[in-house]
Amino acid sequence: MVPPISITKTQEMVYELKVGEVMTKNVITVRPDDRMSQLRGILRQNRISGLPVVDRGQLVGLISLEDFITWLGARAEDGPIQERMTRHLETVYDDEPLVSAIGKFEKSGLGRFPVVARKDKRKLLGILTKGDVIEGLLKKLEIDYHEEQNRRHRAGHAFFEDVEADRSTLVLQYDVKGQDFT
């Protein structure tokens, strides 16, 4: 006999949440004509390992810390970011289920996905990292926990909501059989 499958609250949330609910919305970006030498300061100051490259509001690529290190190691001239950025991008949609994005993380091994609009696949709406997924799930768990605690608190006090009195007594009476200790 196969035991029944038990789905945890976290697993349920992964299917219910959308990418847009957990993504980082205020995204730091660079332009394709920004210089590679500028990248070090941006990455360090913002404590990030990569960022989208945007031209006139349109997503055109991604540049990562790895790209920067490769450029440094090659001792190449200080050129524009567009010469080193990744142009063929894997993206996710803001209305996509979070579980789908998690699957893309597993398959690709990438650390971030640009989040784009379904109608305009080059309009950058945000960025999704594995950290965003974890943080989003933890926030949702915390919210659900507090809602459950409030619901239990209200249910426990609902009995007394209609009672108006300066003083009241509650008598609970039980019928017990003699010698029945169960």
| Rg (the chain; Cα; Å) | 27
User: What is the number of residues in the chain?
Assistant: 182
* Other Cβ atoms within 10 Å of 60 Cβ, number: 18
pLDDT of residue 14: 67
pLDDT of residue 110: 86
**Strand, helix or coil for residue 151:** helix
- The average pLDDT across 169-178 equals 69
Is there a contact between 126 and 24 (Cβ–Cβ < 8 Å)?
yes
Q: How confident is the model at residue 9 (pLDDT cuts 50, 70, 90)?
A: low
pLDDT of residue 57: 85
Strand boundaries in the chain, DSSP class E: 50-55, 58-64, 92-93, 112-116, 124-129
Q: Of 142, 107, 106, 118, give the one whose Cα is nearest residue 19.
A: 118
Joined tokens for residue 77: 């001239």
What's the whole-model pTM score? 0.68
pLDDT exceeds 60 at position 159:
no
Identify the residue with better confidence: 120 or 55: 55
Identify the residue with better confidence: 34 or 110: 34
Q: Of 137, 135, 150, give the one whose Cα is nearest residue 14.
A: 137
For residue 10, give the H/E element and its range. Answer: helix 9-16
